[in-house]
Amino acid sequence: MAETDKDDLISLIQDDEGEIDIPDELPLLPVRDVVIFTDMLLPLFIGREKSVIAMEAAVEHDKLLFLATQKDPTIENPDPDEIYPVGTVGRILRMLKLPDGRLKALVQGISKAKIIKYTQKKNSYRVKIELIKEQAAEIISLESEALMRNVREQCEKILALRGEMTGEVGSILDNIEDPGKLADLVASNLRLKTEDAQVLLELTDPIQRLNKINEFLSKEVELSAVQAKIQSDVRDEISKSQRDYYLREQVRAIHKELGESDEKTHEFEDYTKRIKQAKMPKDAEKEALKQLKRLQLMHMDSSEASISRTYLDWLVEMPWSKSSKDYINIKNAQTILNKEHFGLSKIKDRILEYLSVRKLNPKMKGPILCFVGPPGVGKTSLGQAIAKAMKRKFVRISLGGLRDEAEIRGHRRTYIGALPGRIIQGLKQCGTNNPVFMMDEIDKIGSDYRGDPSSALLEVLDPEQNVAFSDHYLNMSFDLSKVMFILTANLTDTIPSALMDRMEIISIPGYTEEEKKIIAEKYLLPRQIKENGLHSGKSLTISPNAMDEIITGYTSEAGLRNLERELGTICRKVARKKAEGKKGGVTVTRTNLEKYLGVTKFIPEMDQEESQIGLATGLAWTQVGGEVLYVEASLLPGKGELIITGQLGEIMQESARAALSFARANMDTFHIDKEFFESRDIHIHVPAGAIPKDGPSAGIAMATALISAMTEAPVNKYVAMTGEITLRGRVLPIGGLKEKALGALRAGIQTIIIPEKNKKDLAEIPKNVKKKIKFIPVKQMDKVLAIALEAVKPKPKKKKTGKPKK
């Protein structure tokens, strides 16, 4: 590799050393980023293998070689078409071999030449050359003289602007009478682009070269003048800063002599420094400096000064440009999610998909995810796991019971004790502008005369708008587009539709008994053992049968909180025994479980009921998961009135009326007398009367209970059902099938009747649930009754027959 050191200033040989015999074939040395002119001395560093061979070949013969410039300096081994054909024959004056194997040489340009052809290309290049003779100027014309004088004057201007002009340089320029030599001297010292220098080298007419040099010199004069002005301005600014510093020091000394406090000056300097370090946007920095000037004019102990200080503290401590660097490793993130949470494969896949896209496109706007599910299923801890996987800060705020819009947007500074909203407070607390920001219980936001917080959240949770979120206290926009917002809710019913539209809903269902057992053994029990000071799993062992009994007999929930509490109760009782001196481990079995937890709290529903007339099992979906819902129907002497009890909502009452109308419309099918309804009242009751209930999905259960009571056919106790009924007996689809199925599993149900249109939802139900429960899709009420009623089955409807074909 041939490299040039441009800082070692090129000089020229002024005297002739006699004629040099130049052969027509020479070794070729390609050089980078420099064009060599005649009479130019140039230090070179040679490291490329071909270049080293060429140098050694030249030294062994007459120390002559041909120097040509590469068109592209980045190419390590240039081909012949990547080297300029016009170059300079050079003579090696001195050569030194360096310890690293490179060569350092001093080369002098002798004569211009051009490549005729390449005679060797294998180990190093050898070329056949033809010398280029310049047009001699025997008599210097008036134009040539003027050009030469102009070149000298411009050179002197440039050197004067740079502060490098000396008498020796001036005399060298004056003593050169040959136009070509003057042009080569100036060209070799100008900071020209390689392409421009090559153009000059290839010009054989000295006058043309001088004209071209004049153009370059004019541009260089302008650049040198601007550079000199910039340096002068910088020196003036430094002088002004030094003067200001000197004056401030004098003022400080005067204050010190007078015994006056200088806290105000220190405070001003501190705020100025912090404002610059905060790297705010221009409008925020402008406002901060404006407030700082106002603070300077105030008395230090005034209330207004205190308000200004608080405001400035918020401005300088906000993470305007401070971000956590994302370390996204998909395998590592998957490991963290699996370690922190069992199951939830669909949710984990969605999170890993987002992280994958984020890795490929770091500038993408963060999604607004909303985890919806019963309490205790791990919604909040899932957000923490996401932050851990991305190595971001985690911020959590609870929105439950929030009624004031100012909690989101902040209060205006005109109010006493004003503060920013909880979004800005959370960002300041974590110290970065791209945390994982979790908002818990978004379905429990309220509203009153102070405003609607959910409306204020519309701007926060809109990726197109939150790039310029405006807080009332800061009174300027803050970019929230880098924040990853995660929200949690138990139900979506109470979330405003405009807010729902901005979020991606991810449902987190309850856990099956098998999943609870695995989670309890792997996560909950080891954690409780550690927290209660038992230190080792050998201190306490819970048998599989005992764990099953704890799950079914002492807890009844979709989540895991009560299960962990019961395990904590056992651990505390064992810890007491240990503290009292008991040695050895403790084993909890189904037999001795009552010693630790007392009597069973929840008896499975199937242990309480047998197949009865007028008692159907429905399914309900609440914010704490799926539950079985018993519907009772009784016939009383009366005048055909419908009595509905059990604190049912309007929709459920309408379902009861629709069920009764269906039964009356099909009296013939079920062998019911027409006078039946005139002499009897019908009472429909849904137990747990203290709990409000509503929704259309109990329609077919109500119809089954009614028809069971009328026909005296018992309803199979192992069959549950869910679906909306129409007057014509059609079964319409419902929601929350997975949660209802889990509730049915806990109650010991073996068969669930579902609407035909909910058949697609069976894909979401775990395989172990489908092994234990049989799901039967139906379209009409006739099939529901055929499955649910044990003794009497309805007669099939007679089909209308057309006229016989002839």
User: Active-site residues: which are they?
Assistant: 697, 740
Amino acid at 459: E
Provide the token pair at 283: 């409008």
For residue 398, the tally of other CB atoms under 10 A from its CB is 15
Alpha-carbon gap, residue 423 to 439, rounded angstroms: 10
Q: DSSP letter for 581, please.
A: T
Question: Under DSSP, is residue 652 helix (H, G, I), strand (E, B) or coil?
Answer: helix
Whether residue 34 contacts residue 64, with contact meaning beta carbons closer than 8 Å, is answered with no
In this structure, what DSSP letter does residue 481 have? T
In total, the chain counts a number of residues equal to 806
Rounded CA-CA distance 451/403 in Å is: 7
Do 759 and 777 touch, CB atoms closer than 8 A? yes
Q: Is 58 left (phi over 0), alpha (psi -120 to 50) or beta?
A: alpha
Distance of CA 578 to the CA centre of its chain: 48
**For residues 619 and 384, what is the distance between their CA atoms, to the nearest angstrom?**
33
SS3 content of the chain, % helix, strand, coil (to 5): 45, 20, 35
Which phi and psi (to 5°) does residue 494 adopt? -95, 0
Helix (H) or strand (E) holding 634: strand 625-637
- What is the DSSP code string of 297-324? HS-TTSHHHHHHHHHHHHHHHS-SS--P
CA separation (Å) from 488 to 50, 733, 744?
A: 69, 26, 25
| Token couple for 389 | 């996987």
The two beta strands, 41-46 and 103-120, are: antiparallel
What span, in angstroms and rounded, lies between the C-alpha atoms of 345 and 277? 44
Enumerate residues 6+ apart whose C-beta is below 8 A from 392.
324, 326, 432, 434, 435, 436, 484
Q: Can you name the residues that pair with 720 across neighbouring β-strands?
A: 617, 752
Rounded to 5 degrees, φ, ψ at 405 are -60, -30
Instruction: Give the C-alpha distances (Å, rounded to integers) separating 410 from 405, 420, 456, 462.
Output: 8, 4, 10, 18
- Check: CB of residue 704 under 8 Å from CB of residue 729: no
- Sign of CA pseudo-dihedral 83, 86, 92, 94: negative
Distance between CA atoms of 318 and 407, rounded to whole angstroms? 18
Q: Helix crossing, 142-162 with 167-175: angle to 10°?
A: 160
How many Cβ atoms from other residues are within 10 Å of residue 520's Cβ? Answer: 22
Copy the structure tokens of residue 618. 């429905």
Residue pair 380/440 in contact by the 8 Å Cβ criterion = yes
Nearest of 506, 513, 624 to residue 558 by alpha carbon:
624
DSSP string, 414-467: TSTT----HHHHHHHHHT-SS-EEEEE-GGG---BTTB-HHHHHHHHT-TTTGG
How far is it between the farthest Cα atoms of the chain? 142
Distance CA 326, CA 268 (A): 36
| Alpha-carbon gap, residue 521 to 498, rounded angstroms | 42
- C-beta neighbour count of 171 within 10 angstroms: 9
